[in-house]
Amino acid sequence: MLILLPPSETKRAGGRARPLDLGALALPQLRTRREAAVDALVALSADEDTAARVLKLSPRQRCEIADNAAVRTAPTMAAIDRYTGVLYDALDAGTLAAAERRWLGGHVLIHSAPFGPVGALDPIPAYRLSAGSSVPGIPPLRRHWAEAVMAAIAEAAPSFVLDLRSEAYAALGPLPADVPSAYLRVVTEGSDGTVRALNHFNKQAKGALVRALAQSRPRVRTSAALLRWAAAQGLDLRRGSPGELALVV
């Protein structure tokens, strides 16, 4: 099973003095696209006013332009530790055992805007770029990434993909039609049996789900197997609309 996670706008600072190695990231077929995106981001950062306008940064966020300028030389840390926020706080990867973190490294990709999907344990620097941004020097991010990411995932040929990305990031890398997959929606059920989507608890529930998977490390190759695992864990995971699973919280 391959799990796709969205990134977070908030990131942990610091890391090891080991610069970004684009050639060592997961899905190495994407290196050319990664090089182009990073070059464009660094070039944009040379003009702070332009960068703030293009990236729609508030005065308080302008300091993050320096992160973009130094993206090739800055300290790096595992992507699963770099991102913070509701989903990653619930996942709390830093408290997982070594075997559980290795499972994340083998089964989780985090879909970043400048690097495309990266492995959970791939070392990356801090940066500021979201799926909806446009960077001069490369096409709009959807056009820059979508076809290349789809081809890379097809080549990886995962047995089953659980897509936990937001719709904005899913658009940066649509899944190949011949790869079995399910898009996860987090919902709540009313007393009348109707379900509705959640926002804040959506991220929290996704993080907790991935943590539970890492802790139990099941061998899941189909959506049916995932449903059986969830039932054994006491989770209310159901089939939803075609191509989707619903996690009821």
Average pLDDT for 80-108: 98
Does residue 85 surpass a pLDDT of 70?
A: yes
What domain range is 90 assigned to?
2-248
**Residue indicated by tokens 């990305």:** 165
C-alpha distances (whole Å) from 233 to each of 38, 213, 216, 222, 230 are 41, 10, 9, 17, 5
- The span from the CA of 112 to the CA of 5, in Å, is 9
Q: What pLDDT score does 201 carry? A: 86
What is the CA 5 to chain-centroid distance, rounded? 3
Q: Which residue has the tokens 């996670």?
A: 5
Which of 9, 154, 32 minimizes the C-alpha distance to 84?
A: 9
Neighbours of 241 (CB within 10 A): 9
**CA distance linking residue 105 with residue 124, whole number of Å:** 14
pLDDT score recorded for residue 10: 95
| pLDDT higher than 80, residue 71 | yes
- At a CB cut-off of 8 Å and minimum separation 6, what does 109 contact? 2, 3, 4, 5, 26, 27, 117, 118, 119, 120
Backbone angles phi, psi at 24, to 5 degrees: -100, 0
**DSSP of 25-92:** SSSGGGHHHHHHHHHHHHHHTTSHHHHHHHTT--GGGTTHHHHHHTTTTS-BEEHHHHB-SHHHHHH-
For 86-101, letters b (16+ CB in 10 Å) and e give bbbebbebeebeeebb
Q: Give the 3-state DSSP-derived string for 151-184, with helices as H, strands as E and coil as C.
A: HHHHHHCCCCEEECCCHHHHCCCCCCCCCCEEEE
CA–CA separation, 76 vs 114, rounded Å? 15
Give the helix/strand (H/E) hosting 197: strand 195-197
Cβ-contact 245, 228 below 8 angstroms: no
**Both tokens assigned to 143:** 């056009």
Task: Give dist(CA 21, CA 91) in Å, integer.
Answer: 26
For the segment 150-203, what is each residue's pLDDT rounded down to a tens digit? 999 999 999 999 999 999 999 999 999 999 999 999 999 876 777 777 666 899
Overall average pLDDT of the 211-237 stretch: 97
Dihedral of the alpha carbons of 200, 114, 122, 16, in degrees to the nearest 10: -100
Report d(CA 155, CA 13) in Å as an integer.
Answer: 33
Q: For a pLDDT cut of 90, what percent of the chain falls above it?
A: 94
Helices (H) and strands (E) in the chain, counts: 10, 10
pLDDT at position 112, please? 98
Average pLDDT of the chain is: 95
Provide the pLDDT for residue 196.
73
At residue 106, the pLDDT reads: 97
pLDDT for 215 equals: 98
**Based on the structure, what is the number of domains in the chain?**
1
In this predicted model, what pLDDT tens digit does every residue of 6-39 receive, in sequence order? 999 999 999 999 999 999 999 999 999 999 999 9
